Amino acid sequence: MKKITLSPSRVKDFLQCPLMYKFKTVDLLPSPPSIEAIRGTHVHLVLETLYGLDAHKRSLETALELGVSVFENVMDDIKSKDALAILQETVDDSKKRDEYYEQVNNCIYNYFKLENPKVYEPAALETWIKTTLEYKQGEEEISVGGIIDRLEIARTGEVRISDYKTGSMPNVQFQNDALFQMFFYALIYARENDGKLPKMVKLLYLKDANVIEREPTNQNLQETEEVILSVYGQIQENLKSGHWEARSSPLCNWCAFQTRCPLYTDAGSIPTIQDRY
């Protein structure tokens, strides 16, 4: 069987549409870049840099200055020529540039509405964490991992994991889906720390200054592990059979692979991928 590493985004991709997962993760087809994704990288870099300063220097004014000064780092970090072209086009157009920085600054202002960074001392920033899960009663190990934006350990030993989102908070009916990512991280942390659960997981939505917080339970982690194992098993079956379901949903409107999808290119039934290439 093909060895794969599952992250929260890969699991969610598969649950949304197995065929999309194949295009992105198995075939490694590039997704077109977006200015929204670039802006998200920019804001994350601002906050990571801010927390690298001494606590008394973590002011709103400093964060806004970082919004400008880290821009060159954002450009340096972009590997895709298409993404770089989109960003350069934004910079060269004064109206687009002003809108871009207005949205970056809005995220920074909203972050300071939600938290005072002077009172937190992160133990880790933008850090890859990983562990392994047993599959089929120990016959196989699954590698799982992801990047956490911020991890704090209180003097009392309590742990909190936080993640920044530059979009808006989802409606109530979709908040459990959003929390899957955080329970995924909590599961990894617990597995690597003798079963110790984080005290809190926290999603900060910087577009509209909202927060989702939960105290993870063993049941949350068990349910998350069950989802991961189920998805892993389905991926292995699909790799063996070569058939990947194209799953229709409202999110298809934003899919980058419509021109390759049988739901959009074929009038009949969905063939196996081998039949299409």
In this model, does residue 208 exceed pLDDT 80?
yes
Residue 205 belongs to some domain of the structure: yes
Evaluate whether 201 touches 189 at the Cβ level (below 8 Å). Answer: no
Evaluate whether 13 touches 46 at the Cβ level (below 8 Å). Answer: no
Give the β-pairing of 200-205 and 210-214.
Answer: antiparallel
- Which residues fall within 8 angstroms of residue 92, CB to CB, at 6 or more apart? none
Evaluate whether 104 touches 114 at the Cβ level (below 8 Å). Answer: no
Residue 158 belongs to some domain of the structure: yes
Last residue of a domain, one of 82, 102, 118: 118
Mean predicted confidence (pLDDT) in 136-146 = 87
Last residue of a domain, one of 118, 142, 165: 118
Residues 128 and 113 in one domain: no
pLDDT in tens, 105-128: 999 999 999 999 999 999 999 999
pLDDT at residue number 84: 76
Residues 125 and 215 in one domain: yes
pLDDT in tens, 39-91: 999 999 999 999 999 999 999 999 999 999 998 888 777 767 777 788 888 88
pLDDT at residue number 52: 95
- Structure tokens given for 77: 């970090």
Evaluate whether 46 touches 66 at the Cβ level (below 8 Å). Answer: yes
In this model, does residue 167 exceed pLDDT 50?
yes
One-letter amino acid of 260: R
Least confident interval from 28-37, 144-153, 211-220: 28-37
pLDDT in tens, 218-231: 999 999 999 999 99
Residues 74 and 149 in one domain: no
pLDDT at residue number 73: 84
Residue 129 belongs to some domain of the structure: yes
Give the β-pairing of 200-205 and 159-165.
Answer: parallel
Residues 64, 264: Cα–Cα separation, whole Å: 44
pLDDT in tens, 173-195: 889 899 999 999 999 999 999 99
pLDDT at residue number 213: 96
Last residue of a domain, one of 94, 118, 142: 118
In this model, does residue 277 exceed pLDDT 70?
no
- Which residues fall within 8 angstroms of residue 90, CB to CB, at 6 or more apart? 35, 96, 97, 100
In three-state secondary structure terms, 127 is strand
Measured from the Cβ of residue 221, the count of other Cβ atoms closer than 10 Å reads 21
> Residue 269 — very low, low, confident or very high, per pLDDT cuts 50/70/90?
very low
Residue 254 belongs to some domain of the structure: no
Residues 49 and 171 in one domain: no
Closest residue by Cα to residue 53 from 72, 70, 71, 73: 70
pLDDT at residue number 200: 97
> Residue 2 — very low, low, confident or very high, per pLDDT cuts 50/70/90?
low
Domain containing residue 84: 35-118
pTM, two decimals, is 0.90
Looking at the 3D structure of the chain, how many domains does it have?
Answer: 2
Mean predicted confidence (pLDDT) in 18-41 = 91
Residue 259 belongs to some domain of the structure: no
